[in-house]
Amino acid sequence: MKEIGEIKSNIYKIAAVTDRGQRLNKLISPMYEEKANEMDELIKALKDFNFEISEKSLSGEWELIFSNVELFRSSPFFLAIEKALNDQAKSNLFFKLHQLQVGSFGISTIGRIAQKIDFEKKEFISSFDTTIFGLTTIPILGWFKLLPTFGGRVITLASDLVLRNNLLDMNLQKTKVSKVDGLKKIPLFSELLMDRWYPVKEVWNKLPWNKESPNCQVSIIYLDEEMRIMQDMYGSIFIYIRPSISLLSSNSISNN
C-alpha cells in the first residue's frame, strides 16, 4: 500500500496537469481519461486510511485544487440548485448550459476558489474569482485586445451549518460580487451591483416552483490537516487544500 504522502503528491500532480480537473471535462474534450481513472484510484486509496472528522479539523479556510465536474459547482448556490432539481440528468443539463453561456469564446473564466468554514458562527462561505473579457480580438486579423479585462469575486454565504457524521448540511442565504485586486470593476454596473448582498433565500422562497428553502449537503470522504475531499449527492468530487495565501478577508465577507 502506498503511503499517504505519496498518494497526495500524485493527487497534486494530476490536479496541476489537468488544470484543476477541467481538462477532463467531457463537454470540452474527452481527454486524459487515464488521469481521471488514476485520480479515482488515488482517492479510493486515501479512503482506506483511518481519519477523524471533526468541526475543529474542518474549520478554517480551504482552496479548491481539483474537481471532476465544473468548478463553480462547488458553491452552495449551485449545490442547492442541484438538490432542488432532484434529478441528475436535469442537473447536468442545467450546469452544461450554464458553462456554455458563461464560457463561450472565453468570455468568462474562473480563477481561485476558496471556502471558509466557521462552526462557531454556523457559516459556510464560498467564493470564486471570475475574469470577463480576458482576451478579446478579431480572429486571425487581430493583434490587440478589443476590450479591457473586468471581473470580481463572487461570494456566497450559507448558514445553519451542521456536521452530521460525515455530512455537512447548510442553508443558502445570500450572495454578492466584490472587487478583486488587479481586476477592474465592470463599468456602469459596478456601482449598482457590486459589494452588496443579494438575498437569494428570500427570492428563492418566493418562486412558485421551489417547494422548499435552498438547502445543500456534501459528504466528506477524506480529511486531514491539509487536504479535504468532498462529494456531492451524485458523486462529483471536489478536492481542497489549505491555502498559502488567504483569499477571504474579513472585509470582503462582512455581513453588513
What's residue 251's pLDDT?
A: 53
What's residue 249's pLDDT?
A: 66
- Whether residue 192 contacts residue 160, with contact meaning beta carbons closer than 8 Å, is answered with no
Domain segments of the chain as ranges: 51-241
What's residue 96's pLDDT?
A: 86
**Neighbouring-strand partners of residue 227:** 241
What's residue 166's pLDDT?
A: 95
3-state helix, strand, coil in the chain (%, to 5): 30, 30, 40
What's residue 60's pLDDT?
A: 96
- Whether residue 252 contacts residue 153, with contact meaning beta carbons closer than 8 Å, is answered with yes
CATH 1.10.10, domain 51-241, yes or no = no
- Whether residue 20 contacts residue 66, with contact meaning beta carbons closer than 8 Å, is answered with yes
CA distance 25 to 32: 10
CA distance 181 to 170: 30
What's residue 194's pLDDT?
A: 83
Sole residue written with cell 462529483: 236
pLDDT, mean of each 10-residue run, the chain (256 residues): 89 94 76 88 93 95 95 93 92 86 72 94 94 72 73 92 96 91 75 84 86 93 96 96 82 54
**Cα-based distances in Å from 129 to 56, 72, 155, 236:** 27, 10, 9, 21
What's residue 145's pLDDT?
A: 75
**Neighbouring-strand partners of residue 241:** 63, 227
CA distance 68 to 21: 5
What's residue 75's pLDDT?
A: 94
Provide the phi-psi class of 21: left if phi over 0, else alpha when psi is between -120 and 50, else beta.
left
CA distance 237 to 183: 29
